[in-house]
Amino acid sequence: MTSPQKAEHILSVENLDKSFGAVKILKDINVAIEPGDFLVLVGPSGCGKSTLLNCIAGLEKSTGGEIKIGGRSMNGVSPKDRDIAMVFQSYALYPTMTVGKNITFGMKVRGVPEAEQQRKLNEVAKLLQIDHLLDRKPSQLSGGQRQRVAMGRALVRDPQLFLFDEPLSNLDAKLRVEMRTEIKRLHQTLGASIVYVTHDQIEAMTLATKIVVMKDGIIQQAGTPNEIYNQPANMFVADFMGSPSMNLIPAQLEAVDEKTKISINRTDMAGIELMMDRKIEGLAGGSKSVILGLRPENISDASGQNAKDGQVAECRVDVVEPAGSDTFVVTNLGGKQVTARMNADVQIMAGDMANFAFDLSKASIFEPESGARIA
């Protein structure tokens, strides 16, 4: 990821380290985005994503490395001088100020003329449809309204860079989806550059132009949503991104000409064998234990599209979970639960033997020890 510093990078983070005492929170972080990018930092809690965001905002001091915003080094620059705006998980609305005052507080502090403050306030209020709430106190608002006010406070700033710290996680599911769309629309209409932290991989997938997956203070993978989803760099990313998550099945690989034979053991019956049309480097005649990563949508019923390749195996159905648009069917392969995404109208009962069709063109192969992607 150490891309050469380009002028158009709105944000670049280089070799960033952060530790609290002996505990290293961030290790050698390198990220860069271009204007208009929507960067989502995603990972489980404690992975360091919020710390990274706070470092970018200048709310926490890094212990090493550099952060540049708009090409300017941010070393020793206080948050207010970084030309950023931030939206917080708890919204952090000032409880004793009205909505209007909350939104204009920053401008007031910076000494923006009164008239200008009013103009911007009206503009933003209209954009976010909160004009009727301006005289209320935060305690009189609903969660969604507070969320909008928090965004309003960021928008009036009109900064180079927006920072969002899990802004939707305090909302209920329905509202969360609505606000997600809203944020996406704002991004598109304003063309703003955004760094967005979440632990929700769906938010990450839907919003991002660029995703950084983190774990234990280390970047696991950075790339477009498509790259992250289809070519996860390791088993952690594979497992973390996507819902239901990728099936990770212990398997044996063996090179057969230009193809690769995949053998999967089963505890209760004979194993299955599948052929993959690709050649995997480094098999050199012998067989090799790997982890086979397959998204649920790459396993379907025999009537589905996957069946054409003939990679079909009969498996025992453990659980059937109809989900409306699809039906998820769980079986057991290689000692693991494996989920297949089948047609909604598939006629299968738990306990049946059924044919599962495997689409191996999008399969990922991982090294069992390190979890790193092989192919």
Q: How far is the CB of 103 from another protein (least distance, A)?
A: 10
Task: Please say which residue, 47 or 246, places its beta carbon nearer to another protein.
Answer: 47
Residue 220 is a binding residue for another protein (CB under 8 A): no
* Closest distance to another protein from the beta carbon of 98 (Å): 12
Phi, psi of 365 (to 5 degrees): -115, 130
44-63: contacts with another protein (CB under 8 A): 54, 57-59
| Rounded CA separation 278/288 (Å) | 15
Q: How far apart are CA 121 and CA 126, in angstroms?
A: 8
Work out which of 22, 109, 115, 349 binds another protein, going by CB under 8 A. 109
Minimal CA–CA distance to 253: which of 286, 277, 293? 286
**CA diameter of the chain:** 78
Residues in contact with another protein, shown as a per-residue x/- string from 123 to 162 under the rule CB under 8 A: ------------------------------x---x-----
Q: How far is the CB of 94 from another protein (least distance, A)?
A: 5
**Applying CB under 8 A, which part among 78-86, 262-270, 294-302, 318-326 lies near another protein?**
78-86
Alpha helices by DSSP H, the chain: 49-57, 99-110, 114-128, 143-155, 173-190, 201-207, 225-230, 235-240
CB 193 within 8 A of CB 37: yes
Which DSSP helix (H) or strand (E) runs through 366?
strand 364-366
The whole-angstrom separation of Cα 314 and Cα 353 is 6
Per CB under 8 A, 105 contacts another protein: yes
Measure Cα distances from 375 to 1, 92, 234, 279 in Å. 19, 45, 10, 9
Q: Does 36 bind another protein (CB under 8 A)?
A: no
Stretch that binds another protein, among 93-101, 140-148, 174-182, 259-267 (CB under 8 A): 93-101
Selected from 65, 106, 143, 271, the binder of another protein by CB under 8 A is 106
Of 2, 45, 78, 267, which lies in the binding site for another protein, with binding defined by CB under 8 A? 78
**Residues in CB range of 231: below 8 A, 6 or more apart:** 223, 364, 373
205-239 as b/e: b if 16+ CB within 10 A: bebbbbbbbbbebbbbbbbebeebbeebbbbbbbe
In the complex, what is the shortest distance from the CB of residue 78 to another protein, in angstroms, rounded to a whole number?
Answer: 7
Supply the minimum distance, in Å, between the C-beta of residue 56 and another protein.
Answer: 11
Position 86 contacts another protein (CB under 8 A): yes
Please say which residue, 158 or 318, places its beta carbon nearer to another protein. Answer: 158
Give residues in contact with another protein (CB under 8 A): 54, 57-59, 76, 78-80, 84-86, 88-97, 105-106, 109-110, 153, 157, 165
